[in-house]
Amino acid sequence: MRRPIARALTGALGLIAAGAGPLATAPPAAADSVVVGGQPTRITEAPWVVALSSRDRFGGTRAGQFCGGVVVAPTKVLTAAHCLGREVLGGEPWQLSDFTVIAGRTSLRGRGGQEVRVSGTWVNPAYDRRTNSGDLAVLTLAKALPESYVIEVARPDDAALSPGTAAAVYGWGDTTGKGTYAMSLRSARVRVLPDEACERAYQSGSGAAYRGDTMLCAGDPEGGRDACQGDSGGPLVAGGRLIGLVSWGSGCGQPENPGVYTRVPTVLPSRI
Ligand code: 4AZ
């Protein structure tokens, strides 16, 4: 039931027929509405959220969106390392001729905001694609975004990382767990969960296992609210600070399978 992320992303990109993956056999507990169980939001409410795009590779219908990202400095965007994997991009990131970050735009159908070219990529050398540990990459932008788009990264000892903290996840990903990708930005309210909740759900033995040192567990104890395919690399925010990046999980919105996020404050090097 634990989908390798490459497959998850492949599904997210529509390269596998929607419904062909394990998600089809295990629908989320509450598939009612990024983000599953979320609500529409405007980019002005969350200006640090960006979409990663390549129309050449992913088509123009949704402006080439294939992952999320978050602005942490005017020319620096964090995303998930797995978003830049060969399985997703079909090659190396620099081989994508039109790799951009879309900032300041709520709807992928709209023309607002700006599209900025990605001029450099750095993948966390400690990222392990077998276990998903350290799932973080840094994009350098060819042109600076406004300072007002930048979100502060929490420190490793920030209380916002404690279990029980209210947090929000943002993205243009699947809203049902069945391949229904959003055209407009959504957010879902979740809670930081104790490591044990993810340790229980994702034990070692088959592929990715939860590791509290590099990963963060968050979700809705009652199920229904969660990140999903296409949200990868997007932000998990608590107390106005960045605490996580959407990384992986089994299905979407199932209470027994919380979302797993990159623990940004510990995984991100102090200088980028
Ligand atoms: C994915 O496939 C994915 N419910 C992202 C997040 C979650 C599951 C899958 C968490 O990119």
The answer to whether the predicted template modeling score (pTM) of the entire model surpasses 0.85 is yes
Percentage helix, strand, coil for the chain under 3-state DSSP, each rounded to 5: 15, 30, 55
How far away, in angstroms, is 250 Cα from ligand 1 center? 7
- Residue 42 CB: number of other CB atoms within 10 A? 12
Question: 243 Cβ partners below 8 Å, 6+ apart?
Answer: 154, 158, 160, 161, 167, 192, 216, 236, 237, 261, 263, 264, 265
Q: What is the CA radius of gyration of the chain?
A: 16
Specify whether 82 is catalytic: yes
Exposure of 181 in the CB half-sphere (CA atoms within 13 A): 25
Residue nearest to atom 1 of ligand 1 (CA): 229
How far away, in angstroms, is 160 Cα from ligand 1 center? 22
How far away, in angstroms, is 195 Cα from ligand 1 center? 18
Say what the alpha-carbon torsion angle 86, 18, 184, 140 is, to the nearest 10 degrees: 0
pLDDT digits (tens, 9 = 90+) for 67-115: 999 999 999 999 999 999 999 999 999 999 999 999 999 999 999 999 9
d(CA 245, CA 170): 10
Atom of ligand 1 nearest to the CA of 259: 10
Q: Report residue 252 as tokens.
A: 């979407």
Specify whether 135 is catalytic: yes
Q: What average pLDDT does the segment 163-169 reach?
A: 98
pLDDT digits (tens, 9 = 90+) for 136-165: 999 999 999 999 999 999 999 999 999 999
d(CA 134, CA 23): 25
- Residue 94 CB: number of other CB atoms within 10 A? 12
Residues with CB under 6 A from ligand 1: 8-9, 12, 226-229, 231-232, 246, 248-249, 252, 259
Mean pLDDT value across the chain: 88
Give the domains, in start order, of the chain with CATH numbers. Answer: 1-272 (2.40.10.10)
Phi, psi of 80, deg, nearest 5: -80, 140
On whether the CB atoms of residues 53 and 115 are closer than 8 A, the answer is: yes
How far away, in angstroms, is 166 Cα from ligand 1 center? 20
Ligand 1 pocket test, candidate residues 252, 256, 257, 262, most atoms within 8 A of CB:
252
d(CA 9, CA 87): 8
Q: What average pLDDT does the segment 124-140 reach?
A: 96
Atom of ligand 1 nearest to the CA of 36: 4
Q: Where do we find the tokens 């620096």?
A: 76
Choice among 33, 53, 54, 135 that is catalytic: 135
pLDDT higher than 80, residue 213: yes
- DSSP reduced 3-state for 201: helix
d(CA 189, CA 166): 7
On whether the CB atoms of residues 134 and 197 are closer than 8 A, the answer is: no
